[in-house]
Amino acid sequence: MRVLGIESSCDETAAAVYDTSAGLLGNVVSSQVKVHAAYGGVVPELASREHLRSVVPVVEKALTDAASGSDAIDGIAVTAGPGLIGSLLVGLCFAKSLSYAWGKPLCGVDHLESHVYAVFLESEVAFPYVALLVSGGHTSLFRVAGWREMKFLGGTLDDAAGEAFDKAAKMMGLGYPGGVVMDRLAREGDAARHRFPRAWLSHDSADFSFSGLKTALRTFLASPEGSAARVPDIAASFQEAIVDVLAGKALATARREGIPRLVLSGGVSANSRLRELARERGAAAGVEVFLPSKSLCTDNAAMVALLGERRLSAGFSSGAELNAYAASRFSR
Ligand code: KG4
Ligand code: ZN
């Protein structure tokens, strides 16, 4: 089965083609970073307009790269939510139109689920596994026992980890998006130079909190010590506070669940220090850590096409009533 996937939940317009036997055939991502950089964050209305401009050329390029005309496509998968509602609707309406015009089945997929299963584009992971999903909008832990079995174990009580990176970078005048810049700067800094707080919450909690850390950074930057500090040292110390908690809680959850497999997913799992720490601590704890390529951690449509292929192959499809949704369907 060959599936065209479309993703437009935030500020990336993406399309990909995934084939059951040939694997990933085309994978195109058009980023809107330049459009939003001037505002220091994603402007929802501008994002929707950019998706409208990009969706046709991006889908055409993915089909061309895959050497697939509409006849070769067996189904269309699209991100239905969660995300920015205007952005989601652009991808969703386009996917519905293609499904109707081509007479091919449609499959709405959840953005969180597609991140969590993206690892299968590169590796075979045995079920069950623990997944840490860390992105701009989400920081959650799941127990994944099958292609339709994803149990929410805990999540952030306030800011997402990516949001903390982005807001910190903004406070430090480093521009947008902040995560990648912080990651790069941190490599030249001393992570032990400044001590930022870690919110471990209760001993066995799979929940996270990053708002106190953000406030601590703001207070530090305004202090005489903060004004005199080297930017790379601040970036490295701040980043360490985030990744220490992410890796620590993810591995503690794997231990508590009795599962020796941990999968990282979402944009923040592209962070080089998080990857290093998860690998090191995983090896010490006897937990196999799976790290998808960075381009499969950030938003893409390859993960949408893959999940669509699995769902459509298993006989699940969506009707014309499929609608977009803004809020996460996973909660405690
Ligand atoms: O998964 P994603 O592409 O979009 C969402 O669904 O949110 O994640 C985007 C987030 C942003 O907050 C971005 O700053 C962060 O992932 N990010 C990083 C890195 N690359 C992207 N954060 C830290 N280090 C990175 N290398
Ligand atoms: Zn995402």
At position 76, the amino acid (one-letter code) is I
Per DSSP, the residues of 179-197 read HHHHHHHHTTS-TTSS---
Label residue 71 exposed, middle or buried (CB < 10 Å: 0-12, 13-18, 19+).
Answer: exposed
Percent of the chain with pLDDT over 70: 100
Task: Tell me the CATH architecture of domain 2-116+297-313.
Answer: 2-Layer Sandwich (3.30)
Cβ atoms of 146 and 163 closer than 8 Å: no
Could you tell me if 279 and 289 are in contact, meaning their C-beta atoms sit under 8 angstroms apart? yes
| Shortest-distance ligand to the CA of residue 139 | 1
For ligand 1, what atom is nearest to the CA of residue 111? 6
Could you read off the pLDDT of 61-108 as tens digits, one per residue?
Answer: 999 999 999 999 999 999 999 999 999 999 999 999 999 999 999 999
Tens-digit pLDDT profile for residues 171-205: 999 988 899 999 999 999 999 999 999 999 987 89
* 261/311 Cα distance (integer angstroms): 23
Nearest in space to 107 (alpha carbons), one of 69, 76, 82, 132: 76
The verdict on the CB of residue 270 being under 6 Å from ligand 1 is: yes
For the chain, give every domain's residue range: 2-116+297-313, 125-291
- For the segment 128-159, what is each residue's pLDDT rounded down to a tens digit? 999 999 999 999 999 999 999 999 999 999 99
- CA 303 to chain centroid, in Å, comes to 10
Tell me, what's the pLDDT at 257? 98
Q: Which residue has a Cα nearest atom 1 of ligand 1? A: 267
The first and second tokens of residue 133, run together, are 């999903």
State whether the beta carbon of 136 lies less than 6 angstroms from ligand 1.
Answer: yes
Q: Can you tell me the distance from the alpha carbon of 140 to that of 128, in angstroms, rounded to the nearest whole number?
A: 16
Ligand 1 proximity of 162 Cβ (cutoff 6 Å): yes
Q: Look-up: residue for tokens 């982005």?
A: 166
CATH number for the region 125-291 comes to 3.30.420.40
Ligand located closest to 162 CA: 1
Average pLDDT of the chain is 96
**To test the ligand 1 pocket, which listed residue (79, 174, 268, 293) has its Cβ within 8 A of the most ligand atoms?**
268
- 82: tokens are 């969660």
Greatest alpha-carbon span in the chain? 66
The residue whose CA has the least distance to atom 16 of ligand 1 is 267
In whole angstroms, what is the distance from residue 128 CA to residue 130 CA?
7
AA letter at 265:
S
